[in-house]
Amino acid sequence: MGDDQVFGMGDDPLVAPTWPALTEDEVAHAVAATWGGSCAAVEWRGARPLSSTVGVRMDDGERLVVKRMPVQLRDGVALGEEHRFMAHLRGWGIPVPQVRATVGELVPRSAGRFVYEVHRAGEGEDRYRADFSWTPYRDIDDAVAAGVMLGRFHSAAEGFDAPARPARPLVASLHGGVVGAFEWQTARRPAVARFLSERDWRAEVPDLHVDLAGVAPLWTHGDWHGTNLLWDAHEVTSVIDFGLADRTTAVFDLATAIERTAVDWISLRDGGPAHVRADQITALIQAYRSARPLSAAEQSLLPDLLPLAHIGYELSEIDYFLTIAHDPRNAEIAYHDWLLGHLRWYETAEGRELRDVIRDASLR
């Protein structure tokens, strides 16, 4: 993988980035405006497609991570929502790196178009950095560690009572039904409404819905998978990347964690097998329950919520491609491959079998 490539959405696994690479000048000014000190070297460049990210070693040996995003995606207010949640979790013992942000005006040539997050590097190995985000864990032990930390994370999140975020681009959101999710999103995202008005989406999506009345709201991570965790052997030592965090529910976040890693979506998109990792998912759920028991309502809801877990994010990603990245091809891929593709797979025999596995694991 070259420094000038990022993970792709479509047939090509690696593509040219939407956003230009961070320059050393940008990195130096972003670090000076947040933590101070001088950068000795850029040690690595990330391949995630929705922002530009580098790892930096400082003159004193400290390591930082600099992430740059377009201000239309995240401004200072939006980052403040995430950073307050991160600070709350740190106060309750969850290993979340400290982070500060600066707006583009403080960085030469940025002209205010970007915002910069500068994190202290988390403790542990970035074991999944070179992996596509939606891939299974390396082994069952990693799935167990992820489940335990997610249970701890949700227990620590209790008491953080900030309101839900506005309908920002690239935010996970909880919906009780497919049609309701589409209607909620189109009412708040004009570009998505126009995009869907050209399609008979009501005929294309299944009429799935669940009853959310029995579960309490909770601020959650929204994007729990191996690439957003740092590791020491089979222990999670840091939790990173809070861009999708919002006020949803614990069982929604658990369903999202399963949806991200249970199925080989890349293989399915290319016409291959799903490679369902029932062993990892069973281990993750049981490990989660060892740290935070599931209520009766959550046990009942989890398997049926799984097909709905991805909808809010994917519609917000379509909004991002249409309004910020100006990439209608990727908006089409997001709709057909990632949104409709996921929903349709859960209606197959293999998709129903996975939900049965989850039902058994949540009740066992």
Per-residue H/E/C for the chain: CCCCCEECCCCCCEECCCCCCCCHHHHHHHHHHHCCCCEEEEEEECCCCCCEEEEEEECCCCEEEEEEEECCCCCHHHHHHHHHHHHHHHHCCCCCCCEEEEEHHHCCCCCCCEEEEEEECCCCECCCCCCCCCCCCCCHHHHHHHHHHHHHHHHHHCCCCCCCCCCCCCCCCCCCEHHHHHHHHHHHCHHHHHHHHCCCHHHHCCCCECCCCCCCCEEECCCCCHHHEEEECCEEEEECCCCCCEEECHHHHHHHHHHHHCCCHHHHHCCCCCCCCHHHHHHHHHHHHHHCCCCHHHHHHHHHHHHHCCHHHHHHHHHHHHHCCCCHHHHHHHHHHHHHHHHHHHCCHHHHHHHHHHHHHHHC
Tens place of pLDDT per residue across the chain (364 aa): 445 644 445 555 555 556 778 888 889 989 998 999 888 888 988 777 667 889 999 999 999 999 998 889 999 899 999 999 999 999 999 999 999 998 766 555 555 588 999 999 999 999 988 887 778 899 999 999 999 999 999 999 999 999 999 988 889 899 999 999 999 999 999 999 999 999 999 999 998 999 998 899 999 999 999 999 999 999 999 999 999 999 999 999 999 999 989 888 888 877 888 899 999 999 999 999 999 999 999 999 999 999 999 999 999 999 999 999 899 999 999 999 999 999 999 999 999 999 999 999 988 7
CATH of 6-120, one of 3.30.200.20, 2.60.40.1220, 3.90.1150.10, 3.40.50.1980: 3.30.200.20
The domain segmentation of the chain, as residue ranges, is 6-120, 140-363
Q: Check for a shared fold between 6-120 and 140-363.
A: no
Per CATH, the number for 140-363 is 3.90.1200.10
